[in-house]
A and B are shown apart, each in its own frame.
Chain A
Amino acid sequence: MIATVALLLAVAPDEPIAAPLPQAPDEVTAPAPAAEPPAVEPSPPTAAPVAPTATPPTAAAVTKPASPRRRPIASGPWVPNAWPTAPTCTLDPTDAPWCALVRADVFAGARAGTIGGAAQNEFRLDRAEAATGLLWKPATRFETGGVIALEAIRSAGPQSLTGIDGDSLVVRLLEAYGQAAAHFGPIDVGVRAGLVPERWIEQVEKGYDTRGFDALASDRVRMFDRADIGVAFTASAWDGRVDVDVEIVNGEGRAQRELNRGKNTTAIVTVRPLLREHPRGPLVLALHGAFRDGSLGIASIADRRGAAAVTFASPWVYAGVEFVHALGYAGRADLQASTLSSWVSGRILPRWLGAMAKYDHVRQDVAVAGSVIHVVGGAVFSDVFEHIDRNRRRVRVYAGYQFEGYGDAAAPLPGVVGALDAHRFLVQLELRGLARFGPKEIRP
Chain B
Amino acid sequence: MDEMLDTAPCGFLSFTDNGIITLINQTLLADLAYSSEAVLNQHINVLLPMAGRIFFQTHFFPLLVSQGRALEIYLSVKTENGTEIPMLLNAVRKQRGQQYANDCSLMVIHQRNEFEDQIIRLKNAAEVAVREKEKIYQELLDAHQRLDDKRAKLQVALNLLEKMATTDELTDLKNRRTFEETLSREIEHAKRSLWPVSLIIVDADHFKSINDTFGHPVGDRYLQQLAKILQSNVRKNDLVARYGGEEFVVVLPNTKAAGAVMIAEKLRKAVEVSIWPERPLTTSLGIATLSDGITEKAELLKLADQALYYSKHHGRNRVTHFNELEFADL
Are A and B associated in one complex?
Answer: no
